[in-house]
Structure 1
């Protein structure tokens, strides 16, 4: 898979058309997920301005510090046929952008995570121009993945599956969560990612904290362990998967908890299809967990979208009326957490297809017993 297939030039044209349809005169996109999505350029977030300018009418261009121009040209952005302009230390890049816009814009969309100082500098360079969020345009495009993007997510899912398949190498009594986490982070890169984005190893009572990171707690016989891991591949797309392990014999009440959780998660993954709302999908698992008596202990949404970011739209959450469409990619990760005792979460990335859903994480979802 080439980077041009994952980041095609047509994507800029679709974004330009969406910009015009939204009544915006241009998008101003600084380093971050939106810039990676549109160009494949993983630019450094510096105090110096890097900005993709995408007019509703006219040609897109990328403004970068002169010292970053070689990196921009070497990135996938260099193959998209857009102008890449370097600016020197004595130039005002905001004035440069303002001068190159086809006309004084009435309203521009700035990317949702643009630094405040850059947003304010554009406001000064474009007096009288209103600012809106570029996310209102780009989120709808990013929600539906192309066939090439789905392929990239499949590869990411297979890579993180290979790490879960090796978990017995690192989880064992006498080791700390932090020691295991360092080994797992190395394996994420070794198994096909260019970087590790996160490693959660929650053992014993720490497994009841959904966003526990790593600690110096020593794992013990009988511990339950939640492992939630993810990284970014060379394609620029992310992985994310959670499985549960037990070091020896698990408590009987934990086995019951995991049984309920597994049944709920399977019901949800089996229910993915076009036309169901994200709120309805959330309810399928949440209602089952509630009926089993664990409702108060499922304390977060069912899932989040994934692509060039680990967390992006769509969100699978109670009350959402967003209708699922083919190409949407998201996690299904219900969890049950008993404070001070133990918890569990099962997470798969799922693609909504034309007639159902495709689960990208294929390691066993059953509780894995390690010696």
Structure 2
């Protein structure tokens, strides 16, 4: 079954009259079209009964016709500057009780649809697409493996870039260049957390000068031309590491290994989180592990499934997600080890293969 046909079937099974997918990962997943997010409406309409069609501004029609969406055989409906595209969609759909709107649809577009279809309830399209997007196909697994190999190659360069006296921002700029040089189409994030900044999991680059003897968290990722994302964290130290850091780095490494080893079909997402958390808590660092163990990854860096307490979703073959426990000591330093893992038929498979040992430069 084609992806578009699977989406139509899922829409009908969910009791929705249609899905309305504006530019973003949902549209790209269904059609391959990486459309610009503009104030002018571009929207794939997937009726539960009837043929799908893509509404595009007239000036975006050439780009749409050159995109992978053109190979799907769907009708392109171009609208003129003086037309109301929301009314156009409402007329073509007719009266429907419920529609699914793209999770990343702008509020102004959702509200315009609500005005054009006042009797229609809106729900998130993610409720329909989540099962399809969580189960990665062989082609998607290959794309994620390519992304992982590319970001691994960047981590291999980090020891050449980390030097005492350089600022986080200077190092981050070089890393961003290396991410593009590795084959990524876009840099999504670069975290260089030196010394006490490493205790902030989502630290932004700063002008702080990296000092000798400081651990440095390097968390980096980007988007490949395929649309699939990379995300990997490794730990470095500029010179001799502090004794208190070494005391918990070994704990963190065991926790990450325990979580990956726990992955297999049938275990719950929260049990993978628990496998990492138990190791850290037993060593006395539980209060310093302040975030979930992981997140799904694909066309978005963060997507379902989330590896967190309370998520009782059973692991299934094809699930792709990060395993990234962390320990963060406020005002001192922190550490995180992150790999992308795919749940296979019997066990988890790491996609990242650079060393998880502390790299001293």
TM-score (norm 2): 0.98
Structure-2 separation of matches of 1:311 and 1:365: 22
Which residue of structure 2 aligns with residue 3 of structure 1? none
2:65 is equivalent to residue 73 of structure 1? yes
Deviation at 1:113, TM superposition (A): 2.0
Which residue, out of 138, 154, 158, partners 1:163?
A: 154
Structure-2 separation of matches of 1:268 and 1:212: 24
Which residue of structure 2 aligns with residue 149 of structure 1? 140
2:82 is equivalent to residue 90 of structure 1? yes
In structure 1, the residue corresponding to 2:173 is in which secondary structure?
helix
2:261 is equivalent to residue 261 of structure 1? no
2:354 is equivalent to residue 363 of structure 1? yes
Structure-2 separation of matches of 1:95 and 1:268: 50
Matches within 5 A, 1:310-349: 310-349=301-340
Which residue of structure 2 aligns with residue 6 of structure 1? none
Structure-2 separation of matches of 1:201 and 1:127: 48
Deviation at 1:174, TM superposition (A): 1.0
Which residue of structure 2 aligns with residue 31 of structure 1? 23
Deviation at 1:362, TM superposition (A): 0.3
Q: Which moved more, 1:65-74 or 1:298-307?
A: 65-74
Deviation at 1:361, TM superposition (A): 0.3
Which residue of structure 1 aligns with residue 240 of structure 2? 249
- Could you give the per-residue CA deviations for residues 204-259 of structure 1, whole angstroms, max 9, x where no partner exists? 11011100010000111101100000000011000000000000100111111110
In structure 2, the residue corresponding to 1:225 is in which secondary structure?
strand
Which residue, out of 184, 192, 195, partners 1:204?
A: 195
Q: How many residues align?
A: 361
Which residue of structure 2 aligns with residue 286 of structure 1? 277
Structure-2 separation of matches of 1:116 and 1:184: 35
2:100 is equivalent to residue 109 of structure 1? yes
2:175 is equivalent to residue 180 of structure 1? no
Which residue, out of 10, 18, 22, partners 2:10?
A: 18
In structure 2, the residue corresponding to 1:166 is in which secondary structure?
helix
In structure 1, the residue corresponding to 2:219 is in which secondary structure?
strand
Structure-2 separation of matches of 1:223 and 1:245: 8
* Dislocated runs of 4+, deviation >4 Å: none
Deviation at 1:127, TM superposition (A): 2.8
In structure 1, the residue corresponding to 2:220 is in which secondary structure?
strand
Q: Which moved more, 1:69-78 or 1:22-31?
A: 69-78
Structure-1 separation of matches of 2:199 and 2:348: 29
Which residue of structure 2 aligns with residue 5 of structure 1? none
In structure 2, the residue corresponding to 1:262 is in which secondary structure?
helix
Q: Which moved more, 1:76-85 or 1:357-366?
A: 76-85
TM-score (norm 1): 0.96
Which residue of structure 1 aligns with residue 116 of structure 2? 125
Could you list the runs of 5+ residues in structure 1 that have no partner in the other structure? Answer: 1-8
Could you list the runs of 5+ residues in structure 2 that have no partner in the other structure? Answer: none
In structure 2, the residue corresponding to 1:314 is in which secondary structure?
strand
Structure-2 separation of matches of 1:96 and 1:274: 45
- Could you give the per-residue CA deviations for residues 190-215 of structure 1, whole angstroms, max 9, x where no partner exists? 10100000000000110111000100
Structure-2 separation of matches of 1:71 and 1:307: 24
Structure-1 separation of matches of 2:181 and 2:127: 37
Which residue of structure 2 aligns with residue 191 of structure 1? 182
Structure-1 separation of matches of 2:122 and 2:178: 43
Structure-1 separation of matches of 2:70 and 2:161: 41
Which residue, out of 50, 70, 79, partners 2:42?
A: 50
Structure-1 separation of matches of 2:142 and 2:319: 13
Deviation at 1:91, TM superposition (A): 0.8
